[in-house]
Structure 1
Amino acid sequence: MIAYAVPRPESVVLPIVEEDAVFPVRRVFCVGRNYAAHAREMGGDGREAPFFFSKPADGLAPGGGEIPYPSATADLHHEVELVVALAHGGSNFTPEQADAAIFGWAVGVDLTRRDLQAEAKASGRPWDAAKGFDFSGPISAVTPRLKLDQPRGRLRLRVGGTLRQEGDLADMIWSPAEVVAQASKLWRLAPGDLIFTGTPEGVGPLVRGDKVEALCDGLSPLRFRVV
């Protein structure tokens, strides 16, 4: 038996819709500016090549619930996204191979310390503290492809019942399979990897007490409250 010098960290797992099994999370990748309107909203233009950043797996908040307002920020923002969960790994996928590697889908919210991100951008520094903090990735249960082969329709986010973000998945600059294929050129992907695929326009601030609902047609909803 292996002896651990310190307590072994628990693995992060996500529930799977209508199944007893759970989805074990390995790594979490995120794509920026994958909707044209949001790209313009953030100062971009045109069909840029996908660019990626990461969140720690233990920065996820499965099922939402109560999300603590993070320290060191006065400008917390929401970004609702379709999340891809991988069943197979590999490198240098074609889009067809990438599509075949997808296990299922979830709805996630990329919470962002926007003031820290703006400071990092201005200084040419990494975004880690802006994107990868504790509870920075509320995420729903995973819907497997056996139940929904390809999500279509609307992705939206409400705060206190008021619609803040809404977009159509068809408006993605890069499709989920193309995003996975691009990621596989940068990393050797593996089962358990998650990829947040980008957010539509309308990102904005959250404050303590806000009740958030994130929805994607055909997928399990995500609800949480900022405390």
Structure 2
Amino acid sequence: MDILVADDDRTGRFLLKSVLTELGYHVTEAENGREAWEAWQGEHHQLVISDWMMPGIDGLELCRRIRAEEASGFAYIVLITARTGKANYLDAMNSGVDDFITKPFEKDQLIARVRVATRILGLHESLRLANTDLERRVHERTAELQKALRAKSEFLSRASHELRTPMNHILGFAQLLQMKGLTAKQERSVQQILTSGRHLLTLIDRILGVSQSEGADLHFLEASTTFMDAPDPAQANPNKIVVH
């Protein structure tokens, strides 16, 4: 991990770099706040250790600028300061500082702070990876669901046509037969065809309607077969109209 160290005091930077290098970290040095800001914009260092009091851009301003670019990548910021008092700490934390190192710092204190920062950064990265994986799986499941809904829509559209159209034709033929001179028995048979056909058509409508409401936003056009849509069986072959 590359750690950005910002301190206008050359001796302070040297001491920080010596300890961090000993721990195995690569260190990018900045002599002031502006140089640190430019360095962070180029590399987006995950860990920033900055002195509070620096000319131009001080440690708090540097922290505020980094936090304003949080979308570019999370940074853990440790502020080095000789200041004490509740007001100073609150001011720093409200600016986005994560931790403090008191001047003059001790080696063990710096090591402890860096280890805490490393653990938190590791947890943050684990969370980021978990979120990325979750988003990927949600995207995959959404794509699968959309595919299933499209298949369902196509099936219901075909079912609507394949079931309604023949039934409408049957009802149409039965109504045509009612126009003929039928015996009482034949009239009862035709009426039974109409009653049963309408019942089946209602069931078809209900089944397709339930399927439609359970999933996609589907819309089926009602079949509107009229007597003119189907050939008149009497005209086609009047001698073969037989109703039992």
TM-score (norm 1): 0.20
Structure showing the higher strand proportion among its residues: 1
Larger Rg: 2
TM-score with structure 2 setting the length: 0.19
